[in-house]
Structure 1
Amino acid sequence: MLRSMRDGAKSGVLKFFLMGLLVLAAGGLVLTDVGGFFRGGVSATDVAKGKGFKIGYQQFDIVVRRTLAQQGISPQQAYQFGLIDQILNREIQARMISNEAIEYGLRIGDDTLVKQIAELTAPIASEGQSKKDALQSVLRQQGISETEFISSIRADLRNTVFRNALTGGTGTISDETAKDLYQFENETRDIQYFTLTNASVKGIEVPTDMQLETYYGTMKNQFLIPERRSITIATLKTEMLEDQIEITEDDLKEIYEDNIAQYEKEEQRTVHQSILNNADDAQKVADQVKSGKSLEKATLSVTGKKDGYLGENNFSKNGLLDEVAEPVFTATTNDVVGPIETALGFHVIQLKKIIPARVEPFDSVKKSIRNELLQERLIDEMSDTANTIDDRLASGEALEEIVSDIGLTTEKLADFSMGGTNKKDKDLFKSYDSDKSEILEASFEYEQGETSPVMELADGRYITIRVDAITERAYKPFKDVKAAVKKQWLATQRDAANRLRVSDAMNKLKGETSFTDVAKELGVTVRTKKKLNRYDEVKEPLTANTLRRLFSADLDTAISENNKDGHIIAQATALNMPDPAKASKDDLEKVRAQNQGALGQDILTQYVNTLSKKYKVRINKRLLDQMYGTAPASGN
């Protein structure tokens, strides 16, 4: 199955690998929560770490915010819904599989990479952009460099090939198995159930302040106020130095003369050109042009449309197709050349002008030479000035003096977390998106009053960062959150008491007491549902897990399950099994298709489960709590 992943792979290795997958499948090992394996042993700035990789908090935060940008929810909300864990698990899985692919010797060739990038940029390029401009547009949208983009695409391709090799060749589903699956998927059950809500529990004593303070100590992480910082960013821009750069006429002439070959222009021809689909139309067009009609009008007259007319263009000889070049460059002004057949069709060309070889005069290129020279000198001047700023800061000079002397611009960003957001969850670093990670890292690396070394931004600017204020991480005082603590304490007590009611009810149902009698003793109503399918979407008080368990349990065997209001107790009272002989061919093919993909996914899931142990992955839950666990609140 993995032979295609590496030339010369030994069959013994592959057999061992396949056997490992079969053992995993037989053992029923299923990865339901990758995060469950990972706890502890991670540095303070990494959200996750494994053998051969780590995921820093700024890097991960960028991924989170890009992922959530189109969802319309904040990272804090996503954390509550478990989406942050899913994003992190996805990132971990991608790195593990990438490492495995590299270990197996899988490489993505440049031709494949170029094709993938072309497909990615094609939809944008088709709207009037060149492929190069389209690629730059993608890079700006993603906020990454071209090198990072290419590395990312190569890694994605490598992972995809590896996954496909892993899940491909998983066999086919026989007719008998398809019929069994058809029965399984179309079975329905009748059920009865009742609910025991936490809110219905009575007699919970009001807690004392001492009890609440003790409880607060066990849950204070819920009231964590993350460390926040305020900084000043001083920026050096090219326009600040342009007036200091002197470029003389002699400088420009020297460059022009030293590079005169660059300004030599080959002999060119100005032509009008049409490309037709067949020889007959091409000949008719050529005849009409020779009779005095313009090439554009002749093309429209013969074909009924202007699509074949390419307009007027200047060409050097090596800029034309070989079949066309010689006839065009031996023609004289106003000659009609063609029809000439090439791979593109039948060309009809009218020569409009002969442009002799020449050297562009100095005055016509002086402006472009000056702009290029200015940019070169600005780069040098920017670098020299940045080094000067570094030296002056290292000598202890105040940032304000340097700002005033050089004319730097300053921006103050106040009270933001490690993720770069303020208390209202506004991203303060949106304008620095490509450099956000590095800026945040420097902002949290230095102590109050310290200034970072000068760093270059992706757009060519230079900045230095001074830490103006640090608000250490803390916990909201008990007195400020007492009401919330009390509410949660009462909810916990009601839930505990309700669980006792559920346990007592389940014990009675295992005995001689009927389902209806137990409900009557508890003062609740029994409800029923008919012909439920295992894949039906159910609403509260039923849950997807309740439905799954009801289809796994025997008839008239009660199960209990949590729901958002408390607990539900339910049992299946009847099952209805479809006759597989009545299944159509399309029904069976649909079953095959659905389960073939699921079989491959099961193999991938079990494989990732094993990798998580091999790579000894650890997740920094404390850092995730600090970054996303506390919703923004005013006044803190």
Structure 2
Amino acid sequence: MLHAMRKGASGWLAKGLLLLLVASFGVWGIGGDMLTSSVGSNVIEVGDTSVSLGEFQRDYQRNLNILSARFNTQLTQEQAQQFGLAQMTVNQIASRALVDEKTKLLGLSADDEAVREMIQTQPSFQNQFQQFDRFLFEQFLARNGYSEGEYIEIVRNDITGEQLFGTFSQGMNKAPAVLVDTFYAYLAENRTAKYIDILDSSIGFAPAPTDEELETLIKETPENYSAPEYRKISYILLAPETVAAATEISEEDLKAEYEARKSEFDTPEMRAVMQMIFENEDTATAAYKKISEGADFAEVAMSDLQLTPADIDLGMMSKSDLLPELQEPVFDLETDGVTQPVKTVLGWHLAKVGEIIPGEERNYDAVKDQLKKDIQQNKAHELLYTQATKLEDEFAGGAKLEEASQALDLNVVKTDWIDANGNDKAGNPVATLPSATGFLAEAFARQIGDEAEVSETSDGGYYAVVVDEIEAAAVKQLADVKEQATKDWQENWRHEEARKKAEDLLVRLNAGESLEDIASELGLTVQTSLPVMRSGSAGELSPVARDGLFDLDPAAYGVNVNKAGNGTLLYRVADIIPADRETDKDAFTQMSEQITASIRASILAEYENYLQKDIGISVKEDLIKEYF
């Protein structure tokens, strides 16, 4: 509950607020002084509540599954560490335990009826009739790894937590107007710039650098002149397409598959449907009578139910899209036909049919090739799974890649030198490498001598890769990169000269000359930028030039790199457009809501920090790091 109440906002308003509020508002987290080692087998202790390693592991795995589902891939342990999943799990468990401990001390509770009502009114557990659906509830539990008892306790904790924290921010219904106005005036101010762009190319001739100057350049930016790490690898690839191509499918199997999936290949008849629903049969019958006597369906909906045409338009519907009681009556109608009153759980319906798009049935011959491909793919996945399991068994028994391939009659592919992007030493892509996501990442994460492991690809295939040789990344010799380094040095020289030229001109401008006169002297045109704000898009300016524009006094000039990075801008403020809450009411309202939410979150965070110290939290950080 507490974490949900502190969700962050996005966009330029939120980014600006973060800059201004970061010094004022606290952020939840277990403080470093609480990451201590306590006696016993528990990894987290909050007051009298203890959490064992097994309980922590279960919550950690649940979070890992949820995060993997969001990214549509199974995250590795290393990726989970990058996301800080262990710390997130600590925070969740500690937050629940703090609420539980404090509510017990205060005698707060949630009875079974309150918990039942909370669960049954959750939209995610309700069917199309807004009724609690037990099947949806059980699906949610299974998907997230909860038992029913565990989830009930989480809901009970949320209810008592709301009792505990709900009153803290009730007085903060709206942020102080002066605070919102100040932030908005600062963040929503727009400025335009008048500028000339002195391109590096206008400098012309650049001298030839000495070897010492080139060596310095290479030393300062070695990443531009280094050969990447290269590796030679060996791998076994079990791909669906190679197995599928060799899988024979009989005519009988194809026809049996067609009969089992026949409805899948048929396009159902679609009908444009309008409907209105009445509370009782009498009003529905009266409306039907009006329509039968020539009244327009939509006009009756407006006069009897105050429904607009958009309100009654269901769009194109197939038979299965309708409630069971409506399916036959609606699909028995001709175009522009209207059903008699039909009763469903929602009330008494009148439905009108507009456009009718006939369904289409595809015969066996039309889908035969697709059926064959599907069956081959399914069988291929079964065969690949069997092969992959055998390969894992070989590796578990200590077999090397070559030994496992010989035992199972599999092909081992050996590469020449490749880099982490799959290119050879000439910089050309190696087309024969597997395209499986994660293959190259794994090949460049492993070391020589690591035991082979079987990894799965996104299309249901498998691979195992080992490293044969490694050639470490290294800065190239000057002789090998001299041409490129010379070009880079001369471009840098021109860029620096363009900046010096702009700074010399800045002195003249500050002495009273006009930007227009200097532009005319240089054969340039004075340009005016579109309005920009302190954050967000910089428009025609570079981000640093945009930032500089807001630091300038109205009569002053500035010098900064241009947007393309190939020149220097000499600019001044052309116009200051004050923030106007009336021209963008939505942005102003959004800012007010974000500031209000931030203040509320700050109040909650401060109280949580107090609870941490008052109740006490102990976390065995070293033990958690050892396992996670």
Instruction: State the TM bucket, normalised to the shorter chain.
Output: 0.3 to 0.5
